[in-house]
Copies of this chain bind each other. A is one copy, B any other.
Amino acid sequence: MYVTLAHAETAVLPDPHAISRNAASNLNRPARRIAMGASVYREGDEATHIYEVKTGILRLTRVLMNGRRQVIAFALPGDVIGFPNGKNHHTDCDVLESCEVTVHPRAALDAGARDAETQQRLLKAALSEISAMQDHFMMLARKSALEKVASFLVVLADRIGTPHGNHISIDLAMKRADIADFLGLTIETVSRTITQLRTAAIITLQSAQTVIILDPEALAEAAETD
């Protein structure tokens, strides 16, 4: 499970490889801290590693030549990204909120991998992602703007929300354009839909990036969760 992320107008990034090594975390694989705004990999880069997200938020995007972009996913703690298909990556991966990731060589997935436990965990993540993407098909193809935005907020609340009594607050690491490109909408529609939820007193905005869910049940209903 995995929330895709829309592509932002990334100019030249701070430093694509300003990645500081940290103490090894688990399974004696190296963990890395990656700063917000950094690029983990670009489309076309050789797919040499697989990343398990420990903390932070990343965004995977793909672009068509005509300029249309699709945010494939937002990767949250617990997600695995960078699954190789062929030699190269087919998405861009950028850091929206500085993160820590565990890095595995791509061979960690292979048949004769040294660490069977890790191999199995990565495989499971890949299979689970297939299932999550199938869900996302429904989202993109069959849901209204309101249902899309509500579903999106429900998932975020569930995964990175912090409860305050009845309320849940979410810190949106992504911009409106990212959300729009993730949900297959325009910025304007996302904005209008958020306003609509606000007017219905289902959510309120503390700032543009901080959503407070006032009525989780109503939000779930708007999401028409199956």
Contacts and interface: CB of A to CB of B under 8 A. Distances in A.
A65 interface: yes
Contacts of A183: 141
A138 B64 contact: yes
The number of times this chain is found in the oligomer is 2
B126 A130 contact: yes
A124 to B, nearest CB: 8
A205 interface: no
Contacts of A110: 120, 123
Given A70-B137, A110-B120, A133-B137, 16 more contacts: A62-B134, A62-B135, A62-B137, A64-B138, A64-B224, A70-B142, A72-B137, A85-B130, A86-B128, A90-B134, A112-B116, A126-B130, A133-B133, A137-B140, A140-B140, A142-B184
23 contacts: A4-B137, A62-B134, A64-B142, A64-B226, A65-B226, A66-B226, A70-B137, A70-B141, A70-B142, A72-B137, A83-B127, A85-B128, A90-B131, A109-B127, A111-B120, A112-B116, A123-B126, A126-B130, A130-B130, A130-B133, A133-B134, A133-B137, A142-B184
Interface of A: 4, 62, 64-66, 68, 70, 72, 83-86, 90-91, 109-113, 116, 119-120, 123, 126-131, 133-138, 140-142, 183-184, 224, 226
